[in-house]
A and B are shown apart, each in its own frame.
Chain A
Amino acid sequence: MKTKFLELKNVSKSFGKVNALERVNFYIKGEPEIVSLIGDNGAGKSTLIKIISGIHTLNYGEIYINSKKMKNWSVIKSRASGIETVYQDRALAFQQTIARNIFMGRELTGIFGFLKSKLQFAEADRLMRTIGFTSKAFASDSIVNKLSGGERQGVAIARALYFKANLMILDEPTTALSLTESEKVFDFIRHAKESGTSCIFITHNVYHAYSVSDRYVILDRGEIVMETDREHTTAEQLVKDMQKIAQSHDKVREGIKNGRS
Chain B
Amino acid sequence: MADLEKKQTNLDCNPEFRRSRGGIINFLENNRRPLSALMVFIILMLFFIIAKPKMFLDWGIYDAVFRSLPILIVIALPLVFVIVSGEIDLSYVSNMLFSLWIFAAAAKAGWNPFLCMLLAILGGAIIGLINGVLVNHIGLKSIMATIGMKFLLQGLVAGGSSIMPIPLNFLKDTLFYNTFVGKIGNFPVQMIWAVISLVIATLLFNYHKFGSHISCVGDNLESSREMGIRTVRVKTLAFLYVGIASAFAGVLSGLIYLSFEPVSGSPDELMLAVLASVFIGGTPTAGGVGTIFGAFIGACTIRFIQTGVIEIGLSGFWTQFFNGLIILIALISHKFHKSR
**Dominant SS at the A interface?**
loop
Interface of B is mostly: helix
- Tell me which of A92, A107, A134 contacts B212 (CB under 8 A): A107
A residues in contact with B289, CB < 8 Å: 95
- In contact, B223 and A104 (Cβ under 8 angstroms): yes
Selected contact of A100 from candidates B17, B30, B212, CB within 8 Å: B212
Chain A residue with the shortest CB-CB distance to B203 = A114
B48 nearest CB across to chain A (Å) = 35
Q: Is A105's CB under 8 angstroms from B8's CB?
A: no
Instruction: Please state if A115 and B208 are interface contacts (CB–CB under 8 Å).
Output: yes
Task: Say yes or no for A132: interface residue by CB 8 A criterion.
Answer: yes
Whether A234 sits at the interface, judged by CB under 8 Å, is no
Contacts of B20 in A (CB 8 A): 121, 125, 139-141
B19-A139 in contact (CB<8A) = yes
Q: Give A93 to B10 CA distance when docked, in angstroms.
A: 30
Whether the Cβ atoms of B11 and A132 lie closer than 8 Å is yes
B207 touches A125 (CB 8 A): no
State which of B142-150, B214-222, B319-327 sits at the interface with chain A: B214-222
**Chain A residues within 8 Å of B30, by CB:** 141
Given the known A-B contacts A105-B224, A134-B10, are A114 and B208 also in contact in the complex, defined by CB atoms under 8 Å? yes
CA distance A104 to B215 in the complex (A): 10
Which of B18, B215, B227 contacts A140 (CB under 8 A)?
B18
Contacts of B331 in A (CB 8 A): none
B288 at the interface (CB under 8 A from A): yes
Most chain B beta-carbon neighbours within 10 Å: one of A92, A95, A129, A187 = A95
A190 within 8 A of B: yes
CB distance from A186 to the nearest CB of B (A): 10
Report the interface size for chain B: residues with CB under 8 A from the other chain: 33
Q: Which residues of B contact A128 (CB under 8 A)?
A: 18
Bound-state CA distance A43–B219 (Å) is 35
> Nearest CB to that of B230 among chain A residues?
A105
Closest to B223 in A: A91
Query: Could you tell me the distance between the alpha carbons of A93 and B210 in the complex, rounded to whole angstroms?
Result: 16
Q: Which of A81-131 contact B (CB under 8 A)?
A: 87, 90-96, 100, 103-107, 109, 112-115, 117, 121, 125, 128-129
Residues of A within 8 A of B17 (CB): 136
A104: B residues at CB distance < 8 A: 212, 216, 223-224, 227, 229
Task: Kindly state the separation between the CA atoms of A113 and B223 in the bound complex, as whole angstroms.
Answer: 21
A129 to B209, CA, bound (A): 25
Of the candidates A105, A125, A134, the one whose C-beta lies within 8 Å of that of B216 is A105
A-B contact pairs, 26 of them (CB 8 A): A87-B226, A91-B223, A92-B223, A93-B223, A93-B224, A94-B219, A95-B289, A96-B216, A104-B212, A104-B224, A105-B227, A106-B228, A112-B208, A113-B208, A114-B203, A114-B209, A117-B207, A121-B20, A125-B19, A125-B20, A129-B15, A129-B18, A138-B18, A140-B18, A141-B20, A141-B30
